[in-house]
Amino acid sequence: MERQAKEIASWGKNVNVKIPVTNTQGEPAYKLIRSLAHAGIQLNVTAVFTLEQVRDIVAHLDPKTPAYVSVFAGRIADTGRDPIPLMTAAHALVHTNPRAELIWASPRELLNVFHAEQAACDIITVTNDVLAKLTNVGKDLAQFSLETVKMFRDDAVKAGFKL
């Protein structure tokens, strides 16, 4: 990973190299993170799920080198856990480093955009399908209900259902 990271970093000054928090055997990548960050390589440490990982990542970053810590809040929510308290705590940890920023990664729904803002995240990665739902923000719920009923009827007509 180190050789690959250095090669990718050479592509330009605006490149951030994505490094997973562990390798595929579950071994932490903290020494690699330290080596790359202290060499001035901008990192996006990814696949982060726990506050312990956030704490250890931040401890290995160089305060002079920009970095992102990408916490997979959407996948955390997929386990039935509320990610907002974790992300709020992660923000506090990440911002002990003046050049580090927190990413809310893997959102599942538009509401996560507002959750990320509530947790003071610096960045949220958003897919096109989630972005497309921005037109629904503040929408009248009675009108939305009617549109949904009409959609159900249209689907039934298109399917050729008759009772």
Question: What residue type is assigned to position 30 of the chain?
Answer: Y
Question: Across-strand partners of 102?
Answer: 69
How many whole angstroms separate alpha carbon 130 and alpha carbon 108?
A: 7
Tokens of 72: 């997979």
User: What backbone phi and psi angles, to 5 degrees, belong to 147?
Assistant: -60, -40
Asked whether 61 and 39 are in contact (CB, 8 A), the reply is no
Q: Which helix H or strand E contains 69, and what residues bound it?
A: strand 67-71
Q: How far apart are CA 145 and CA 139, in angstroms?
A: 10
Q: What does the angle CA 118 – CA 121 – CA 125 come to, to the nearest 5 degrees?
A: 110
Task: Clarify whether 31 is annotated catalytic.
Answer: no
Taking the C-alpha atoms of residue 86 and residue 82, their distance in angstroms, rounded to an integer, is 8
Q: Which of 6, 13, 18, 162 is catalytic?
A: 18
Tell me the catalytic residues: 18
